[in-house]
Structure formats: C-alpha cells, structure tokens
Amino acid sequence: MGIVLGDNRYGKAEVRLVRVDRDGELHRLTDLTVSVALSGDLDAVHLSGDNAHVPGGPAPHSFVRTGDATRTATIGYDGGAVEVVSGLTGLTVLNSTGSEFWGFAKDRYTTLPETTDRILATAVDARWRHADDGGDWAGSYAAVRRLLLEAFADTYSYSLQQTLYAMGERVLAGRPEVAEIRLALPNKHHFAVDLAPFGVTGDGVYHAADRPYGLIEGTIARDDRPAATGLAW
C-alpha cells in the first residue's frame, strides 16, 4: 500500500479588474473577476522539500482562528452501497514563520520577489472519503482535524503545495479508515508593510489582502483504495 498524489491544480482566484476602453467621449467599461487554474506535472512541488518536523504538536508560531471550522458530511446511497465523505470547511490557520518561496520559474512577466521567510495562511477546506460505512464518526473527525492542524504547523514549507501534500499524507498515514482526501487551500497573502519611509524601525506589520488569492487544490490517496461509487464523492 502506498500514498499517491491524485488530481491537483493551482492558480490565482478572483483577480478584480476593470477595463476602460476610451473612444473619445464615449467610454466602454468591462468589470471582470478572473480566476485561473493550472494543472500538469506537479509531483515535485508537492513531494519535495525539507520538512523539518517540530516535535510536540502545534508550534509556537502556528495559529488557529477561534471559531473553528464547520463540519460537513455527505452520504450517498443507491439501495445497496453506502458512500460516506466527511469534511470540514473554514478552518483558518497561519504560520508566522517557517515558510519560504523561491526558485520558481521566472520570465519577463514575473514580478513576485523571492522570500525566505513569509507568512503562510490559509482556510482549510477538506473532504475525505471513508473506506467503509461504519465506525466512530465523531472520533474519526476529531482525529483527522488534529492531524491536519499538526501537519500544517510542523511542516517547514517551500510551497503551499508541499504543505497540502504533507497534510493529506499525515491523515492517510494516521487514519486507516480514510481512503483518500481532497484539500483546497487558498493562499491568503500577507504583504509585509515597509515602515521605513515613516521613520519607524522594525517589522512585523503585514497587509492582509482580500483578493486575489492563490488557490491550491489536490487529492492524496491510497493506491489500493476501493473505487469511489460516485454517490457522494
């Protein structure tokens, strides 16, 4: 039995653009919200990286927003088979260090600077398919949630893709009742505010941008999982 990376993609969501075409006195307005998703040979970015495991659960630089997530469940039934998909949505987490992003492909359109210390923040949206339709649902949910948080906290991250894979792998390694897991992680950008022009020394102040945000999606699965029936997954 092995753990494999399934379908995955990444992109930038909700870029808000307005275009004005000026034809003399007459202007024409186009109001756009643009999202882009790319998929391809992305195994390396998910699987590589030096994952420095910090012992002892959530690290002192890892935060979970109070309010928790909303727990979800989808059950499919066709008179015979039952398919159970558990999930959570809106689990907002942030690492205030332990994240780098550099070495990416560059061309003449690249404006993003490289960084060796950035804030990594996301709102976890996860759905996992159960191997069968029995079990301790409450206990399983609590355990999966804990594993997701621990993996987010103690993965030293070179990309959000890598963190996504580490989260899914942790769940599959720790919970035999989970056959596969899908994660969608918005990359909630935090831009360091340069206070030097104002004569203020020190750093640690960030602008939390609403839109656009990166959006990383992927499935992590056992290679010997039972086929999905399509009822709920």
Residues of this chain that bind a second copy (CB under 8 A):
15-22, 25-27, 29, 31, 59-61, 63, 65-68, 94, 96-97, 108-109, 111, 119, 190, 193, 197-199, 204-211
CB 224 within 8 A of CB 176: no
- Residue 89 or 131: the one with the smaller Cβ distance to a second copy is 89
- The nearest distance, CB 63 to a second copy, in angstroms, is 5
Residue 68's CB: how many other CB atoms inside 10 A?
12
Cα dihedral 178, 181, 167, 136 sign: negative
Between 90 and 176, CB nearer to a second copy: 90
171: helix, strand or coil: helix
Rounded Cα distance, 116 and 207, in Å: 18
Beta-bridge mates of residue 218: 8, 183
The smaller minimum CB distance to a second copy, of residues 103 and 199, is found at 199
Are residues 193 and 209 in contact, defined by beta-carbon separation less than 8 angstroms? Answer: no
**2 versus 67: smaller Cβ distance to a second copy:** 67
Q: Shortest approach of a second copy to residue 198 CB, angstroms?
A: 5
C-beta of 33 vs 48, nearer to a second copy = 33
Q: How far is the CB of 47 from a second copy (least distance, A)?
A: 23
Residue 130 tokens, joined: 């159960």
Shortest gap between Cβ of 125 and a second copy (angstroms)? 16
Rg (CA), the chain: 20
**CA–CA separation, 2 and 194 (whole Å):** 46
